[in-house]
Amino acid sequence: MRGLLISIVKVAVVAYLGYTILLMVVQRRMLFPGTARVPGRDRSAAVPPGVQRVWLDQPAGPVEAWYMASTRHEGPGPALVFAHGNAELIDDWTPLAELTGIGVSVLLVEFPGYGHSSGAPSRRSIGEAFSAGYDWLVARADVDPERVVVMGRSIGGGVATDLAASRPVRALILQSTFTSLSSLAWESFRAPGFLLRDRFDNEAVLRSFVGPVLLMHGRRDEVIAVRHARRLAAVSPGAEVIEWDCGHNDCPPDWHAFIADVKNFLAAHGVIRDTGGGGEGP
């Protein structure tokens, strides 16, 4: 009987080792599946009206970004840098242009290897692209470098906190994101964190981030449980938490309410001067 138990344990150990090796090999394809969403690299493709296309020079080739300028013309104003989820593109987030009406310019930075951008996605390459996008943004005459907000959704939450750790950021908005990729890997796949090549750690950044934080999450999130948002709030005193009745990919359930929540947060912390009247106050 003892010999049988030992044999079963050995088989289980070998099977788990094989499983973890497989995860090591395919982890980036699992983490960044959006690389296959847009075939080719047609950089002549048109952009939506009101969007300025920017090419950020990177070691592996140019990375695309879309800039939507504030429709208010009252001197340098606030700006928001947005990082999308792992199976999305900047094309999916042009509705954020609604923020330009209240005086907030918006920069959507693509992940390397996604859409029309060159390179391959990784924590390092994405971080370099977003740092370049941030630097391009704050050099603009119409942007106030002291009122730059960073927002990230899902994996983009890790990108956002990485940027906040390396560049001056006025505030952070994190939607449907995790405490750390290591904890999520263990929860979802029973994979030990040391096997990860891209170790985004939002909790570590929030422990030292001194600016205001808005956490937005679906109570029924089946990919990243809402307890991640609650844990992030626990390590970030004063963080505001908004929980919606939704899952992961159907959030936010009400776009207008989402935009209103963002506006109210920005106004409450002095990034914009009011949320009424369609723009910033005088």
Average pLDDT score over residue span 198-227: 96
**Cα separations in angstroms, 73 against 53, 76, 77, 113, 146:** 20, 8, 9, 35, 18
pLDDT score at 137 = 98
The 10 Å CB-count burial string (b at 16+, else e) for 119-142 is: bebbbebbbbbbbbbbebbbeeee
Domain 50-268 has CATH 3.40.50.920: no
pLDDT score at 38 = 60
pLDDT category at 282 given cuts 50, 70, 90 is very low
pLDDT tens profile 253-264: 999 999 999 999
Q: What is the pTM of this model?
A: 0.88
Average pLDDT score over residue span 112-137: 96
Interior angle at CA 202, CA 200 and CA 206, nearest 5: 150
**DSSP labels, 4-21:** HHHHHHHHHHHHHHHHHH
pLDDT score at 278 = 41
Query: What ranges do the domains of the chain cover?
Result: 1-30, 50-268
